[in-house]
Amino acid sequence: MCKWLHEQLEQLPIIKYPFKLEKLPENGIYFFYEKDEIWGHGKNKLRIVRIGTHKKQGNFRSRITEHYLLGLCESKMNFDKNKPKPSDRSIFRKNIGRALINKQKKYKEYLPIWEIDFTKSKNIKSFGNKRNIDKENEIESAITKTLRDRFYFRFIKIDSQSERKTLERLLIGTVASCDSCKKSDRWLGNYSPKMQIKNSGLWLVQHLKANGIDENHKKTILKAIKCTKEWIKLIKNHKKILALNRSPKFLLCKDFF
Ligand SMILES: [Zn+2]
């Protein structure tokens, strides 16, 4: 199933930084690939290293923005002791940060502070004065550079929240249970303090033991890929995205389950 999933997703474009946010859907599931991380099913193809989605309707683009720190999100780098760092808003960034910190001696002792979630005001009160903002800035910049230079993604457009949630779990279960796809010796995640990441070869800690997809889900995924391809074609032909979102053809895509 893992091989099948990788191959089917190849029908879709792979997105590399820089890219236009308007070319992303409002709702979907993303599949991240990482430079030098090769799948185990023959030939040198990239393997999936992370699968994710968003909870709130319409938030796919902002989720990607928070990972890559794009557009307005870039101003989130102007944080101080009383504000959360960008990685407190993206678990993907936080995990890359954990590995980068663990990899470098000069950062290592900062890991306990890095772990603290400063979106919570009680943490700002209790631990804010322990923060080294210069250091956090350096780490955040390194994360952004790593993400932009070494990671690529594909997406499938899925408009129903519950379907996204179910599929996310099953898709993660599918790649996590593959015995052929393995992390490389030089994989950054080898430095992760999270055993789930280190052992699975995926930038994930949840759903690693979930069931994989079955024949029925395969049909659903193929439908979603088809719909995504149509949508990509449509936005290429339409300059006004807002107008497109109201078009009848777009609405059709919401009902593919
Ligand atoms: Zn595999």
Distance 191 CA to ligand 1 centre (A): 22
For residue 251, what pLDDT is reported?
47
**CA 217 vs CA 4, 163, 221, 257: distances in Å:** 12, 11, 6, 10
Distance 2 CA to ligand 1 centre (A): 4
Q: Residues 61, 26: contact at Cβ < 8 Å?
A: yes
Distance 154 CA to ligand 1 centre (A): 17
For residue 241, what pLDDT is reported?
59
Distance 41 CA to ligand 1 centre (A): 6
Distance 46 CA to ligand 1 centre (A): 10
Distance 221 CA to ligand 1 centre (A): 17
Q: Between residues 38 and 248, which one has the greater pLDDT?
A: 38
For residue 243, what pLDDT is reported?
60
**What value does the mean pLDDT of the chain take?**
92
Query: Does the pLDDT of residue 199 top 70, yes or no?
Result: yes
Q: What angle in degrees, to the nearest 10, is found between the helix axes of 133-150 and 91-103?
A: 110
Q: Residues 155, 15: contact at Cβ < 8 Å?
A: yes
Mean pLDDT across the stretch 189-214? 98
Tens digits of residue pLDDT in 144-171:
999 999 999 999 999 999 999 999 999 9
Mean pLDDT across the stretch 84-102? 97
Distance 18 CA to ligand 1 centre (A): 28
For residue 160, what pLDDT is reported?
96
Amino acid at 83: K
For residue 14, what pLDDT is reported?
98
Distance 128 CA to ligand 1 centre (A): 43
For residue 244, what pLDDT band results from cuts at 50, 70 and 90? low
For residue 75, what pLDDT band results from cuts at 50, 70 and 90? confident
DSSP E strand stretches across 62-197:
151-157
Sign of the C-alpha dihedral, residues 212, 215, 217, 221?
positive
Planar angle of CA 184, 86, 149, nearest 5 degrees: 40
For residue 253, what pLDDT is reported?
46
Distance 39 CA to ligand 1 centre (A): 6
Distance 229 CA to ligand 1 centre (A): 24
Mean pLDDT across the stretch 82-96? 96
Amino acid at 140: E
For residue 247, what pLDDT is reported?
55
Query: Does the pLDDT of residue 257 top 90, yes or no?
Result: no
